[in-house]
Structures are given as C-alpha cells and as structure tokens.
Structure 1
Amino acid sequence: MRKYLTAIFFGLLLCVSACYSFAIASSAPAFAKSPVSTAKAPAGELRADQFMFGYTDQTGKKILGLMGDPSQKHPSPKTLTSVLYAPGKQFSVTYVKHQASTRKSNGSQSAHNFINDEGELYRLTYASNKLNVNESVLLMTKKAFEGHTLLSFQSVQKGKFSPTTIHAIEKAKNRKVASQGLIATTDKGTQIGLVKFAQGNGKPLASLVLVDKSGMVFEDFIGNNDSQSTWRVDDGGEISAEYFNLLFASYSKAGYALGVEWYGAEGSNLSVIQQKGAKFRVVTETGRYQVY
C-alpha cells in the first residue's frame, strides 16, 4: 500500500501537462488505420500485460520491477523473461521473488535504496551479462515484440534537425521553433528529436518529433504558464532533447513504437507508446521516483 501511495503521489507530480496526442503532418507516411472493435488486433500490437518497467541495482545484475499504477493492466511477474535496455538491446532474466519494502526504505526507486524498495525482483540469467548501475529498463514477455523489427539506433548528444526539417515542422505546427535537438537516429535514417516552440498567444508547446523519409510524427507536450513548472515540476520552464532517453524503437504493421524515458527534477516518466492510425497510444507508463 505504501508503494502504491508513493507511485500515485509521484504520478501527480510528474507531467504537469504532458499530452500523448500526436498530430501527423500532411506529408506523413500512411500508417495502418485503427481497427474497428470487431476486427482482429493487427500484427505487432503491443499490450500492457507484456511489459513492466524496472531499474537496476548497484551491481548491474539485479532488476526491481515497478508495478506502477494499480489501475493499469499488469503482467504476471513470472511471464517476464527478458530485459530491454537502451539502445534497444536485451538480456535474458530470471524471476526471483516479490520483494517487500523495509522500514529503512526512503521511498526512492534508485540503486542506493534497491534492497529496501518494494517490487518484483529479477536477476540476469547469465553471470557474464551486466547492465549499467541505476539504469531504467523494460522487462518483457517472450513474444512481446512478435511481428516487430527492433530498430538499431544511436543516442545523439549534440545533433540537430536540418534547416529543411525545421522549416517543415514550423509549417506543420504553424509556430516558430525556438530550440531543438536530436534524441536518437536509427540506422535506417529515422530521426527522433525534441523541439520547443516560441511562445505565441496559446499555451507553451513542445513536441517529440519522429522524422523518416516519408514524413513526420508529432507527440505534443502542452505546458502551462507557470514559469517554474511549465511541463514538469520544477523544470524552470525548460524542456530539451537532453531530458529524454530512448530505450527502444521498433516498427511493425501496427506502426512505430518507442520506449521513452523523460527525466525530471524528482525522477523519470517512463512510457511505451505505439502508433495507432494518426496518433500514438500509451501502451503502459509509470513514474520512477528518485529523490533521495
């Protein structure tokens, strides 16, 4: 119960106004249309009961799975057999047990509090494998990405969209770009980045943008007029590509899918999102509270 209260509290503090509604530019690729309720789910459609976010301990060999919001559909812990980590790589894992929180826990979901935190405990199956310490990861079932191609990508620290792309973004959103930067680039040339738009008469706006050779896909983050907490608590009115980390990128007949970590002052917002018609839907999401 204590962990659920912490998760709910953190969830309220996370995105001030992050909106998972995507707009597709007129030049966007023709993705698969949303199925009607009576139709069979398209191949490659991801489900919440296939995934669980987690984080690693101080050895990089253990993972604590986070159940997150109790209202969401969750997988059975024993069905999760692999861990996916940035940049889209994976290791085999073995379920150990449910770990209860201790009196020494300070509520932080981080490596220094790992042995005191509550969650589903896993270990890397092979001793030769090792993850980064205190890393956010995604646990998954054996067939979670059936029908998908996991895209190879590189994180980009100082990359930028080209002037031509920025012009197209400004035309699509009818707003000037104030700042921008790349988050990752796939081996096929698809770019994922973050743009912050100049303040106009409306609310503050930033967008996660996916650009491929056919067009653009936007995920809009609509802020508020609080200069100290515009998009996230205590963000100082700033949002940039450096605040985002891509865990994976994939493509299937159902469209693109991304695993996104958004860093904030008190922790990370973690989400799996997938293309559905003209928008992206949230497959699963949670918050990882990391205030010490």
Structure 2
Amino acid sequence: MSKINRYVTIMLSLALLTFSAAAPMSAQAKAASGELQAKKLAFAYADKTGKRLLAAGVTSPQRFTQAIHAPGMQKQAIFVKQQKATEKSNGRQNEWNFNQDEGGLFKLAAGKILHNSSVLLAEKDAFQGHRFLKYQAVKDGKLEDDVIAAVEKAKKRKVVKQGLLGSAPSGVRIALVEFERVKGEKPLASLLLKTEQGLLFQDFVGTEDEYSTWRVDDGGEISAQDFRILFVTASDAGYSLAYEWFGAEGSSLEVLQQQKTKFRSVLEGYRYTAPV
C-alpha cells in the first residue's frame, strides 16, 4: 500500500470513529439506559368506579398498556375506544363529567383504583431499566436540620417553610421547601429530591399577587399537603418521579427525571376540575 493510500485509509477510519461518537443515541439505547421518553407516557384520570380511565389528547391510545396510579402500584390497562365529548360536557376532567368528556377510554383488566384519581399511562417498555422504589408518604413530616442547611447553602436563600412528602430506601427524601422573600426577586419554592448523592430541585417561581402567588386563588400559600407523588424510580439515568399538584381550579401533573445534577421535565399535564 502506498503512503497516500495508507493516509487516506487512516483519515477515513478516524472520520468514522468521530461520527460514531457524535451520533445521537438510538431509541433502543435510550430505553436501555433508562431514559424516559414523553411519547411513551400519558396522563389520564379515573371514573366514579375506579375501573375506567380517560386520557385526552393522545394519539394511538391502544399502545398504552400500564396504569401507574400510586408509588409501586400498577395495573394492566386495556384500550376500549375513542370517546367523543357530548353536548352535556362542562369541560371538566373529573368523575362527574367522565361520560361526557372526550379522550381515549380504557378499562382496567382487573381490580380498581381510587375514584377520580390521576394516573400515568405507559407503554409496555416505557420503564425499561427502572426499579420502582417503595415510597412511604408522610403527613406533617420535616426534613433534618443538616438537610435544610444544605438546601439553604445550595440556593443561597433561607428556608422559611418546609414539609416532607415522603421517603424511600437509601436515604431518599421528597419534600417541598419555600424560601424567604428577597427584595427584587420573585417568590421561590422547590420540590426537593434528596438522595445520598446530593440534592435535586424542581423550582416553582411565584408572582407578587398575594391572592394567586403560586396558583390561581391560592391565597399566597403553597403547601406540601397539596402534592401527591405518583411514583419514584431509580435507573442508570438517575432518579425519576411524577407528582400531582392540586390547585383551586385543577391539578398540574409532571414527570421528572434526573439529568446529572438537575431535573429535566419529561412530560407535563393538567386536569381542569374547577367547581361548577
């Protein structure tokens, strides 16, 4: 082989190696690594019996086969049909308007869940590589003083209100913390995930409206008791969780996944349930 041909061969090999390193991760590789994908998930809610579910705004709903309704608790979901809204619908996504609302209609293969509750629908392989953690919700719980000190150091703001939502093995804690108001800055609160490796924050930035600081008609208050955790998992990609945040007009829903030292939002949803 001539020196020129040898040089061309080497350069082509280097180019191929560079392309391979820079090539985006395939869907199969993402799934194997535990990376959650929004297209494999959807939010829904239950009817009065807790045996049927309705998911609005999803395409090809028959691909969803699992219903995650509480930490570590899943049931098989079977797609029934695409339900159309009726003229009697009041636009609410709750058990009383279930038969008049539109969306993908599912039934549970067996058993039932809490009526009118929010659930996360998932494709069969959506949580490949994940381990669902045993999560224990608590009432009126508090974080340890050293954790609060670490939170204040990380955020450079004093914690004025806090509430522990629950805990999981290996020192995992989930809590809501509210920080002191700082002149010139907007109100700040965070959903906190504390692990043995460190702290992860999902920040909520409020407004100066004393009657609707965090949510419409919240009276300026944000509380840990307004939050519910749907699941907590661990994978090679890190920790993941989903929460429901109850408000005067409805529930905000979100799936979060750890991305190194931060959270990334995988999926967001909302249930409009304002009183009629």
Q: Which of 179, 183, 186 is 1:203 aligned to?
A: 186
Instruction: Tell whether the 8 Å contact from 1:51 to 1:75 is kept in structure 2 after alignment.
Output: no
- Equivalent position of 1:113 in the other structure: 97
Structure with higher helix content = 2
Classify 1:227/1:111 alpha carbon distance in 2 versus 1 (closer, same or farther; 3 Å): same
Determine if contact 2:201/2:263 at 8 Å carries over to the other structure: no
Cα distance in 2 for residues equivalent to 1:75 and 1:275: 27
| AA at the equivalent of 1:98 | Q
> Which stretch shifts more, 220-229 or 134-143?
220-229
Is residue 170–residue 196 contact of structure 2 (8 Å, CA) maintained in 1?
A: no
Give yes or no for the alignment of 1:177 onto 2:159.
yes
Q: State the identity as a percent.
A: 48
2:176 to 191, 194, 208: 194
TM-score (norm 2): 0.87
> 1:82 Cα deviation (Å)?
1.0
In structure 2, the residue matched to 1:48 is 38
- Is the 2:173–2:195 contact (alpha carbons within 8 Å) kept by the matching residues of 1? yes
Partner of 1:153: 135
- 1:52 touches 1:75 (CA, 8 Å); kept in 2? no
The alignment's TM-score, normalised by the length of structure 1, stands at: 0.82
Aligned length: 250
| Displacement of 1:38 | 2.7
Corresponding residue for 2:17?
A: none
2:64 to 77, 80, 84: 80
Q: Which amino acid aligns with 1:258?
A: L
Q: Superposition pairs for residues 201-280 of structure 1, below 5 Å?
A: 201=183, 202-280=185-263
Partners of 1:139 and 1:38 lie apart in 2 by: 27
1:162 to 144, 153, 157: 144
C-alpha distance in 2 between matches for 1:188 and 1:92: 29
Please report how far the alpha carbon of residue 187 of structure 1 lies from its aligned counterpart in structure 2 after TM superposition: 3.0
RMSD: 1.5
- In the other structure, the counterpart of 1:59 is 49
Shift of 1:243: 1.0
Q: Shift in Å at residue 47 of structure 1?
A: 0.8
User: Whole-Å Cα distance in 2 between the matches of residues 75 and 259 of structure 1?
Assistant: 21
Q: Does the 8 Å contact 1:195/1:207 carry over to 2?
A: yes
- Structure showing greater radius of gyration is 2
Q: Which has the higher contact order (CA 8 A, sep 6+)?
A: 1
Distance in 1 (alpha carbons) for counterparts of 2:198 and 2:143: 13
Query: What is the rounded CA distance, in whole Å, between the counterparts of 1:46 and 1:213 in structure 2?
Result: 22
